[in-house]
Structure 1
């Protein structure tokens, strides 16, 4: 099966480019914490429906978040093609050690976080998620209200799920000090 690999465009928000989705996720969560991304997305969704402009004192920070989330969407599109090795830490059940015990993921999604990406892209295409993100940020930064695309809730919920799944993968398999930073070949065979 041939896969389409989309450029990650990490150089727009970080000092280096990334071609490996795992390395991008590491850089993504080094830029902001999971809770911060979720909070920002919630605020963007709120400001879409008001005439108030989101962060009028410094709207440029929203563009950095937008660029990082767009790169994340491209990386998550690649992650749908990865599967954890049987018996790997991805088979764990929710526990007290996880940051995501009370997350947006179901029990099955918690056990198999790579499946979240596959399910998300069965529901909507990468282009649909990018349109959602662009429209949400555009409306939050402008005095106009209400989206032109009819369903903004579904991509929002799936974006939250993808964020949780990516954090869970990172939590289970390491971060910048751990196994996500070896060469791409080692990473791909690990999962």
Structure 2
């Protein structure tokens, strides 16, 4: 039985259907840079409990960014298992904590760990709910009460996934060559 791939749904924000998660990440960061994505995500988080509407000049932009972030999440789901076939090119000699951003040292060395850890702790549905909820609440002029909804953990994982994806894009990836040993000799 052939395994069917779930669409990354990139057409809504990129005007093309992208199936490769690495290509989607490139398109995602071409659409807006890392700082813009973090600013929109953080801005939406800050407006969750406010009566003001986030980005009231152009609230429709939140919907477009929701679709872009959702596609990014779908690509991240696929990337969590890619470390067996792909690796990040060697890190540069001049390493600093600033380059590391929100990542732990082992995550900086292997950004695939960020995706594995995120989707071990939360499911895609939980991340999708988080995105939907923060964009919905930040676009609402009303303060809604919600009980027992953890918005901080998915937010932290999203920031780390953004940093990991940007790092992968900057350093590049390469396919792991199979090391076949000829035992007949």
C-alpha separation between the residues in 2 aligned to 1:188 and 1:82? 10
Q: TM-score normalised to the size of structure 2?
A: 0.84
RMSD: 2.7
Worse overlay, 147-156 or 102-111: 147-156
1:60–1:87 distance in 2 versus 1, CA, 3 Å: closer
How does 1:1-191 map onto structure 2 within 5 Å? Answer: 5-83=5-83, 89=89, 91-92=90-91, 95-96=94-95, 101-146=99-144, 148=146, 150-173=149-172
Listed as ranges, the gaps of 5+ residues in structure 1 are 175-186
Following TM superposition, the consecutive aligned residue runs of length 4 or more in structure 1 with deviations greater than 2 angstroms are: 2-6, 84-88, 91-96, 144-149, 187-190
C-alpha separation between the residues in 2 aligned to 1:147 and 1:70? 25
User: 8 Å contact 2:101–2:163 — kept in the other structure?
Assistant: yes
Query: Aligned-pair distance for 1:6?
Result: 3.0
Structure 2 SS opposite 1:48: coil
Give the structure with higher Rg (CA).
2
Q: Aligned residue pairs: how many?
A: 175
Listed as ranges, the gaps of 5+ residues in structure 2 are 178-185
